[in-house]
Structure 1
Amino acid sequence: MVRARATKPSALAFLQNKKGGLALEKTKTRKALPTWFHYSLMCLPGYIWLFMFSIVPMVGIVMAFQNFNPSKGWFGSPWVGLENFEFLWTIPDAKRALWNTLVIAVSKVILNIIVPMTFALLLNEIKNMKFKKGVQTIVYLPHFISWVLLGNIITNMLGTKGILNYILGLFGAGPVMPMTEPSTFQGLLVGTDIWKEFGYGAVVYLAALTGIDLSLYEAAAIDGANRWQSTWHITLPGLVPTVVLLTTLAMGNVLNAGFDQVFNMYNQLVIETADIIDTYVYRLGIVKLQFSLSTAAGLFKSVVSFILVVTSYALAYKFADYTIF
């Protein structure tokens, strides 16, 4: 019986086996990494941006509790505790700005829910798809126009020498000045904001309408329900989760009446009813260089907005059984 002679593995085979083992180890290591690690790595530039431009500047919050002096810096300025907040409540302009902010913002929140939902319900009844999509596109376009441009367009249309007064002059009518009338300027702010944003809200509600089960309407029709009854008992309840979501998101902006809109449209003649917290903070910090007071006003607004967001979500979870998770 002839035994096979044992041979040593060649150097080439050894290197190949070693290379394959290393590749296998790399594959195992790659598989062992949790899935979230790769996604987090993709988000790393966003994390860096957030840290540099959102987290680091929060150090400036200390100015709200200081008599800030730029020459002494954040850590050299004297501390005054809550004196800046107490002083704000004694300034008539601050109280006026807070009241104007609440009136304008709450009006926008309410109407930016009612108007888009009503328009979506009406548009959903149209059977001609080309016409429906055309209208949907047209009303959605103003959402993409910045208030820098839109504010100038509105001023040129409704200003003292605007297009509206020119047309009225052709018919011998007197000029109207909604841009310089304090009693009507808040309505102008709310109306133009609704005109700009209701197309976006309508798209959201139209998407929500497509998620309602059509068999519910068929069952209602069999039971003899008319169009209004179907809308009241099926469509509107089906839109409740979307309404809750949009309302919860909007609650955080109750003290944000739209700085870019107001700043590009208001003037000294309407400042009594148009001045909001954001424009007031801008004037305090940038124009009057009162950094401590402007920081205190901004911090007050941020804290109240945070409380409103948490409260609205808690109410939505309790009464509407709504959760994002």
Structure 2
Amino acid sequence: MHSSSRLARFKQLWPFYVLALPGMAYFALFHYLPMSGLVLAFKDYSPFRGIADSPWVGLDNFREFFNTPDFLMLLKNTLLISLLNLVIYFPFTILLSIMLNEVRLQIFKRVSQTIVYLPHFLSWVVIYGITISFFGPSGVINHYLEQWIGGSAGFLVSNSWFRPLILFQSIWKDAGWGTIIFLAALAGINPELYEAARVDGANRFQNIWNITIPGIKSTIVILLLLRLGSSLDSNFMQIFLMTNSLNLDVSNVFDLYVYHVGLEQFNYSFAITVGMFKSIVSLILVLSANYLARLLGEEGIL
């Protein structure tokens, strides 16, 4: 009886399973199947021997990675960029969503949304070209600095300017696109709550603090947990384009290190070891944050 009810339910919902099939195939082919390569983290992989015949080395790759003099620098640089995204970029996306939601003139609201969405569709190569046009040695900003103070600033080759520029690029390119989910959550808030608050004499800022933010709190928690899951993942293309020999002390992150070790030095086992370390740390962060969210009364994502 139980199996027959499952079959009947499958016959009823089969169009939805077919609709989900391409997404399931994508994750199976590009996320789960490649996980079999994690075994190389415990081997001294040689392309000539292959995966099966390469000798086992146990945890030697991990010991070598933790003892490398670059480990602390890589961890620091990666965490600082991630922290800036969590503390500045993520709240800015929420603030931008609330600002767009508070616009009453629909035409202006649609135009504003279109404008803040557009940079998302530009490639990082184009973003880097725009950055050079403004912050490069012969860029617009240095042109005016030479006129005003008689000197220029090395924005693109400075350690102190690297992280602010990375953060500025991320906000300009993706903050508008990140508002889509928040705006959808804001649309689900009952308008009668605002009407009742207006009758009680609440102003717009009181409505935002007491109705809008609590109304999207669960969405904020879920997106924050998802962002924590990729906290050790930097935007490789962005970092790769902005990195040069003069700012390598602050720009060298785990993703860039994996690129140099794996594709330039052909040390595939060591590169997979670094990637596996990132995944394990990210999993621990997500589980810890999810547990904390449940303690605070939120549902979490797990």
Equivalent residue letter for 2:11: P
Matched, 1:247 2:224: yes
Equivalent residue letter for 2:136: G
Q: Which residue of 1 aligns with 2:168?
A: 191
| Distance in 2, Cα, partners of 1:271 & 1:219 | 56
| Distance in 2, Cα, partners of 1:161 & 1:79 | 53
- Name whichever of 118-127 and 47-56 sits farther off: 47-56
Equivalent residue letter for 2:195: E
| TM-score, length-scaled by structure 2 | 0.88
| TM-score, length-scaled by structure 1 | 0.82
Unaligned runs of 5+ in 2: 1-6
How is 1:25-36 mapped onto 2 (pairs within 5 angstroms)? 34-36=11-13
| Distance in 1, Cα, partners of 2:112 & 2:17 | 41
RMSD: 2.4
| Distance in 2, Cα, partners of 1:57 & 1:233 | 46
Matched, 1:297 2:269: no
* 8 A contact 1:241–1:320 mirrored in 2: no
| Distance in 2, Cα, partners of 1:264 & 1:199 | 22
Q: Which residue of 2 aligns with 1:154?
A: 131
| Distance in 2, Cα, partners of 1:138 & 1:245 | 26
| Distance in 2, Cα, partners of 1:235 & 1:227 | 10
Q: Structure 1 110/287 Cα, relative in aligned 2: closer, same or farther at 3 Å? A: same
Unaligned runs of 5+ in 1: 1-29
| Distance in 1, Cα, partners of 2:131 & 2:23 | 36
Q: Which residue of 1 aligns with 2:67?
A: 90
* 8 A contact 1:147–1:260 mirrored in 2: yes
CA deviation after TM superposition for structure 1 residue 64, in Å: 0.8
| Distance in 2, Cα, partners of 1:48 & 1:240 | 32
| Distance in 1, Cα, partners of 2:186 & 2:9 | 43
| Distance in 1, Cα, partners of 2:224 & 2:26 | 29
| Distance in 1, Cα, partners of 2:8 & 2:56 | 54
Equivalent residue letter for 1:127: R
| Distance in 1, Cα, partners of 2:106 & 2:30 | 45
- Name whichever of 256-265 and 31-40 sits farther off: 31-40
Task: Name which of 173, 178, 185 aligns with 1:201.
Answer: 178
**More helix by percentage:** 2
CA deviation after TM superposition for structure 1 residue 255, in Å: 0.5
Larger radius of gyration: 1
Q: Which residue of 1 aligns with 2:55?
A: 78
Give the paired residue count. 296
| Distance in 2, Cα, partners of 1:215 & 1:32 | 38
Identical residues among aligned pairs (%) = 37
Q: Structure 1 165/33 Cα, relative in aligned 2: closer, same or farther at 3 Å? A: closer
Q: Which residue of 1 aligns with 2:289?
A: 312
CA deviation after TM superposition for structure 1 residue 128, in Å: 2.0
Matched, 1:99 2:76: yes
Q: Which residue of 2 aligns with 1:257?
A: 234
- Name whichever of 306-315 and 153-162 sits farther off: 306-315
Equivalent residue letter for 1:145: L
CA deviation after TM superposition for structure 1 residue 151, in Å: 1.9
The one-character-per-residue Cα deviations of 1:173-201 (angstroms, maximum 9, x if unpaired) are 31112110012201211121112111123
Q: Structure 1 31/81 Cα, relative in aligned 2: closer, same or farther at 3 Å? A: closer
The one-character-per-residue Cα deviations of 1:32-83 (angstroms, maximum 9, x if unpaired) are 9634545444555555554444333323212111122221111212211111
| Distance in 2, Cα, partners of 1:322 & 1:32 | 27
